[in-house]
Structure 1
Amino acid sequence: MEKLMDGRSNVGIKKAEKVLCMVLAMLMAMVITINVSAGESISKAKIDEYLYTIAYSQQEQVKEPIYGSIDGEWNIIGLARYGAVTKDYISKYKENLLKEVKAKDGVLSTRKYTEYSRVVIALTSIDENPTNFGGYNLLKPLAEFDNVNKQGINGSIYALIAIHSSNYKIPKPDKNYTGEVTTVKKLIEYIIKNQNSDGGWSMADKSECDITAMAVQALSFYYTGSDKSVKKSVDKALKFLSRQQNNDGGYSAEGISNCESTAQVLMAISALNINIEDSRFVKNGNTVLNGLLDYYSNGKFSHTKNGGYNHMATEQGFCALTAYYRSLTIMNGFYDMADGISYQKVSKKVLEKKKTAASKTKTTKTVKKTTKKSTKKNTSKSTVSDKDKEETTSVKNNKKSSSSNKESNKNTKTKSTKNSKSKTNKKVKKSNKKVKKSNKKEESETTVKNSKNNTSDDAKVGEKEAKINDVNGKKNQSNRTEIVIGVIAAVVMVIAIIVYIIGKRKAENEK
């Protein structure tokens, strides 16, 4: 009987050892997977390509930008903050908005004061003064604190964003208004006071991801300020958003995964310059950016996965990608509009160039992944690549300038031939020599100017990318280290359990 029991106990020990060894192997595989996947990200060039594609598509899709929450202000704000928009397109929007403002005699709404906030943000993004647009002060209604909050918490959220967009001084309210007057402090306090115990905000009872992300965006301006209650509130909200993230990296509203909720969270973490691979916002290896791009296709976003083109989803997705891009490239925040608008020509040729640049970057990244290189080597390589870009650009510019000079020479020769009857051959030869000399001067001047511009631009880009890579590298490394330490701790615990079980079984057998 004792031998039978010993045999059974030995079998039990062996089974336990096998199971625990399998668990150990799985945990080790997790460590390897984490180290491989955590460093992967979508390149800046690829994000730039997405943004330009959306900008091009939107201006083709929405020919007449209007006053409104769809095909109106958010479309304009996204285009303006990215910069790929024409003056003609902006002029169309201003004309349509002015017609609407005049038709309503400056009263956009008596209940939804986010109408004023949205228009103030849009006008600020295109360097227009909202305090005197067509003779109307569209910022003035936001001084009426009671009316601002009639529709709920989003009234204060967007009033705070609108006022901060250009650090506007809040004007005096209308003489007929008898309620509380708005101040930045009151807006902040109102937002924090209405935060739910779980860290989120809501328009009704249950906390919602999108309205929580909007509140974080508004409070982000004061996150590092003297008011510690802001930081405490935002940190609590970030924990809520971290818990609510789906395994695909995206977010849901009322149980349905959607583009808009995901977009607002990406804008929130971008406003705080949180690394896209921060462990709080990575689920199952997917970032918020990965989650958002699940809804993207050919310059458009859908409301739900595999859905068709949705105007609101596209505008919010565009704004979110722009906010992330601005954070990535160390530019002013999405709602910090002191830097103004920069107009760009929007064309298919530029779009193709963006796609080529993105594909080249992807190829380069793939090659780099196959070999192990130190940080110093990477830095030196990036310097070489900047020089290559500079040389390539200057060669292209030289070709362009020389070709243009050749054309001008042809034109000069043609004109001189036609007028040869009235002019002597000597004069023609002299004029041709003068033209050649002037062309040579122009060519050399153009080359010098272009090389100077390219050098300064590449240097600036190089500096920005070096800073970004350094910061992101440190953050990614720390995130990976934290995860690996956790897994190692689990491995140690498993080993300890194995040792304990084996020791206990041996002690029992000896008895």
Structure 2
Amino acid sequence: MFIKITKKFQLTLLLLLSFSLFSINAQAKEYTTEELNEVASKIINWQVNDSTTTKQIFNSKTLLNAGSESSDWFAIGVGRLGRNANYLDYQALLSNYVSQKYQEKDLLSKQKATEWHRIGLAYLAVGGDPTKLTFDGDKVIDLVKDGTYDRGKVKKLNNQGINGLIFALILLDAMNYDIPNGAHDTRADIISQLLDAQNKDGGFSLTKKDDSDVDITAMTITALAPYYNSKEEISLENQKKIKISDVIEQSLSFLSEKQTKDAGFESWGTPNPESAAQVIIALTALNRNPQTDKQFIKNDKNLIDFLMSFQMKDGGFVHSFDYDKENPNSKPNESNAMASQQVLTALGATIRQAENMRSFYDFRPEMTKEVASQVERVNTNILQLENKETPKSEINSLYESFLEIPNEDKRYITNYSLLSKQLKKNEIDSSKDGLTLTNTGKSSKGNGVVVSVETKSNVLQSEDLSKKMSAIKSIKNNELRLADLPLIYSTYYQANLIKEEKLSPDDMALLKNKMTDLKDVQKNITQIGNTIQKEFYPMKDLGAKDFFKIRKTMKSIESISKEDRHLIFGYEDLEKSYAHTASKIKSLIISVVVIIIILIALIILSNNRKKRKKEKYRKLMMDEDEEYEDE
């Protein structure tokens, strides 16, 4: 029997086919690692070119601010991507900052334990060892001890909120550090306090009085991720027992529910890339792909799609396209340092996960090929359990393969819960896995490893001391600039760090003298910056009346080299204000001159007019006299 196909039916079929094709094409785009690396490069270029023309990734402004949030998070992002950068310079300036702060009463901070955590992570990211941080080779500081398991001897870890607990755990697991007997806080202590902080909706907040927050929830997941596969039940304050995996799943549900229709997140009502970046890092810590995880795809868009909507033409990322009163330092439609740096970390986390590398905050050497292939094989076989009936013998064999993976690397088994269900179903003893909060496997000691995500090779950080010293000797004292500081400080740092490459006593004395001179330059820059901040802000209020005061400060800036002037707080703003007020003064002078000219012209015209009147009057009087004489 033949069916007659009408034109109307053909049109309907065509429309259905078109809609089907559109639906396929509308699926969330999965960005390649090459594409993500390119975006990361644009962020780095924006950061570097933001204030200086240096070709090094860590420029003088970034280095001089080592130990601050803005510089440290940038260093962490760059290090986890493994870009070729001047890591020794950053190590030197960061260790110098910490050494100087440790001479003060409150050390890094009186209240915030996260200062130790961020700096510890940054030091690892640039290849340092935060348990043996030193600038001069003598005074050795243990940031891990002071900032995590023994921080409670000074202040509670959660004194500032649960982010103190979150990042303490992240730093501890960055190298799977051992906690010694007699420590104030153990891993179990920190994890128990974190679990107790979970809200009823599954999310977490900075303090109990706050509503659940996307960023804090995502960070908590990141901290707890290494313990996802632990079957150990943790006792809470209310005597309830719970597994870490259950807490994480509840938190993931909370985040998924908070996700907006464009696959993004809001913080205090403002859509922003920073919140999405934290969720991406959390997912990758669980070895989940943030681009394909169905729980976080909304309307055929994924988290990376949302991030990319904030990219600006200059390569940076904007915090918000609308004014955010909660973040007054960010400007709508302008690339923002914090937003750009957090996106950079999210890109690094995504690339590392896609390339089967260690997670973003895991700074240990990459797994051996044997262990990595075994982890991949176990993960693949576990996934197949979901789709087929598997004989008990195969389940048991798979479990044995799982047990062969070192405890410290079992965190990279993604779907252990599937295997755990099958073990229970087949009545196979699963108590042998040994995954507990106290048995996290072998600790790594030493420096954080910087690995290129593009080449998978370690990034070399050694430099020729003799060449560096020759360059330093060629600098004349009257030509010393802060641009020379990284070279001088890193040379001194390297000379103390690598004992087999010692410099002569004369060379070391020269370095110390130049460091003293540089401190004077820094002091001058700081004083001028303080003057600008105190006397001229807000600069929108400055007018012609302030011209001479501005000119006096600008004169003092002339003693600073042109390369160093961008390091002065508010220099660019003051320079613009100087030009603006000078323009007003010029306009005022021109206006005064014009007025004077007009007044002179009017006086001349008036005098001429008077003269003409007088002349006319004189002539008139003469004519009258002549008429009188004629009569």
**TM-score using structure 1 length:** 0.57
Inter-partner Cα distance in structure 2 for 1:76 and 1:244: 30
Q: How far off is 1:31 after superposition?
A: 5.9
CA contact (8 A) 1:326 1:333 kept: yes
Match of 1:284 among 293, 299, 309: 299
Cα distance between partner residues in 1 of 2:159 and 2:294: 38
CA–CA distance in structure 2, aligned partners of residues 200 and 137 of structure 1: 33
Partner in structure 2 of residue 121 of structure 1? 121
Alignment of 1:300-449 (within 5 A): 300-305=316-321, 307-339=333-365, 340-342=449-451
Is residue 201 of structure 1 aligned with residue 200 of structure 2? no
Q: CA deviation at 1:171?
A: 5.0
Distance 1:94 1:158 in 2: 19
2:110 alignment counterpart:
110
Shift >4 Å, 4+ stretches: 24-33
Distance 1:250 1:342, change over 3 A: same
Aligned ranges 1:252-271 → 2 under 5 Å: 252-271=266-285
> Which residue matches 2:161?
152
Is 1:49 the counterpart of 2:38 in the alignment? yes
Instruction: Output the amino acid matched with 1:237.
Output: S
Structure 1 residue 170 displacement after superposition: 2.9
In 1: Cα distance, 2:129 partner to 2:31 partner? 37
Larger radius of gyration: 2
CA distance in 1, matches of 2:72, 2:343: 14
Do 2:263 and 2:306's aligned partners in 1 also have CA atoms closer than 8 Å? yes
One-letter code aligned to 2:113: Y
Structure 1 residue 280, shift from structure 2 partner:
1.2
Q: What is the DSSP-based 3-state SS (H/G/I as helix, E as strand, rest coil) of the residue aligned with 2:131? A: helix
Q: Corresponding residue for 1:192?
A: 195
Corresponding residue for residue 26 of structure 2: 37
Say whether 1:299 aligns with 2:322: no
1:108–1:116 CA contact under 8 A, matched in 2: yes
- Kept after mapping to 1: 8 A contact 2:112/2:160: yes
CA contact (8 A) 1:199 1:237 kept: yes
What amino acid maps onto 2:300 in structure 1? G
Q: Distance between the aligned counterparts of 1:44 and 1:29, measured in 2? A: 31
Instruction: Provide the C-alpha distance between the structure 1 equivalents of 2:119 and 2:197, rounded to a whole number of angstroms.
Output: 25
d(CA) in 1 for partners of 2:177 and 2:222?
Answer: 18
Aligned equivalents of 2:341, 2:196: Cα separation in 1: 30
Letter in 1 for 2:320: T
Within 2, Cα distance between the matches of 1:344 and 1:202? 33
Give the structure 1 partner of residue 69 of structure 2: 70
Q: Secondary structure at the match of 2:70?
A: coil
Instruction: Confirm or deny: 8 A CA contact 1:188 1:219 kept in the other structure.
Output: yes
Q: Which runs of 5 or more structure 2 residues have no equivalent in the other structure? A: 1-12, 51-58, 135-139, 234-242, 322-331, 366-448, 455-631
**Looking at both structures, which has the greater relative contact order when contacts are Cα pairs under 8 Å and sequence separation is at least 6?**
1
> CA distance change for structure 1 residues 188 and 27 in 2, over 3 Å: closer, same or farther?
farther
Shift of 1:26: 10
What letter corresponds to residue 128 of structure 2 in structure 1? E
- Partner of residue 185 from structure 2, selected from 182, 186, 189: 182
Q: 1:106 touches 1:138 (CA, 8 Å); kept in 2?
A: no
Match in the other structure for 2:544: none
* Conserved 8 A contact 2:273-2:310: yes
Q: Given the alignment, which residue of 175, 179, 183 partners 1:170?
A: 179
Shift of 1:45: 1.0
Change (3 A) 1:28 1:281: farther
Q: Which amino acid aligns with 2:353?
A: S
Structure 2: distance between partners of 1:94 and 1:69: 9
Distance 1:257 1:165, change over 3 A: same
The 1:172/1:59 distance shift into structure 2, 3 A limit, reads farther
8 Å contact from structure 1 (residues 87, 343) kept in 2: no
Cα gap change, 1:112/1:170 in structure 2, threshold over 3 Å: closer, same or farther?
same
Relative to 1, partners in 2 of residues 1:329 and 1:100: Cα closer, same or farther, differing over 3 Å?
Answer: same
Amino acid at match of 1:341: V
Contact 1:38 1:277 survives alignment (8 Å) = no
Q: Quick one: which amino acid aligns to residue 78 of structure 1?
A: G
Q: Is the 8 A contact 2:76 2:121 kept in 1?
A: yes
CA distance in 2, matches of 1:30, 1:201: 41
* 1:215 equivalent in alignment to 2:215: no
Cα distance between partner residues in 2 of 1:343 and 1:97: 27
Change (3 A) 1:28 1:150: farther
Cα shift at 1:320 = 0.8
1:500 aligns with: none
Cα deviation for residue 184 of structure 1 reads 0.7
Q: Write 1 or 2 for the structure with the bigger share of helix.
A: 1
Contact 2:170/2:361 (<8 A) preserved: yes
For residue 259 of structure 2, what is the aligned residue in structure 1?
Answer: 245
Q: 1:282 to 1:125 in 2, by over 3 A?
A: same
The structure-2 alpha-carbon separation of the partners of 1:26 and 1:170, relative to structure 1 and needing over 3 Å to count, comes to: farther
Distance of aligned partners of 1:40 and 1:292 in 2 relative to their CA distance in 1, 3 Å threshold: closer
TM-superposition CA deviations, 1:343-387 (whole Å, max 9, x none): 799xxxxxxxxxxxxxxxxxxxxxxxxxxxxxxxxxxxxxxxxxx
Instruction: Provide closer, same or farther for how the CA distance between residues 27 and 163 of structure 1 changes in structure 2, counting only shifts above 3 A.
Output: farther
Structure 1 residues 54 and 190, CA gap change in structure 2 (3 angstroms): same
> Structure 1 vs Structure 2: percent identity of aligned residues?
30
The aligned amino acid for 1:266 is I
CA displacement at 1:325 relative to structure 2: 0.8
Equivalent position amino acid for 1:115 in 2: E
Is contact 2:352–2:358 with CA below 8 Å preserved after alignment?
A: yes
Contact 1:140–1:171 under 8 Å retained in 2: no
Q: For residues 25 and 147 of structure 1, do their structure 2 counterparts lie closer, same or farther at Cα, with a shift above 3 Å needed?
A: farther
Q: Deviations over 1:224-256 (max 9, x none)?
A: 223361110000111111111112221101111
Answer yes or no: is the 8 Å Cα contact 2:28–2:302 preserved in 1: no
Q: Give the drift of 1:127.
A: 2.5
Superposition RMSD in Å: 2.9
Secondary structure of 1:42's aligned partner: coil
2:112 is equivalent to residue 86 of structure 1: no
The Cα of 1:267 is off from its aligned counterpart by 1.0
User: CA 1:191–1:31 in 2, change beyond 3 Å: closer, same or farther?
Assistant: farther
CA contact (8 A) 1:131 1:140 kept: yes
CA contact (8 A) 2:221 2:251 kept: yes
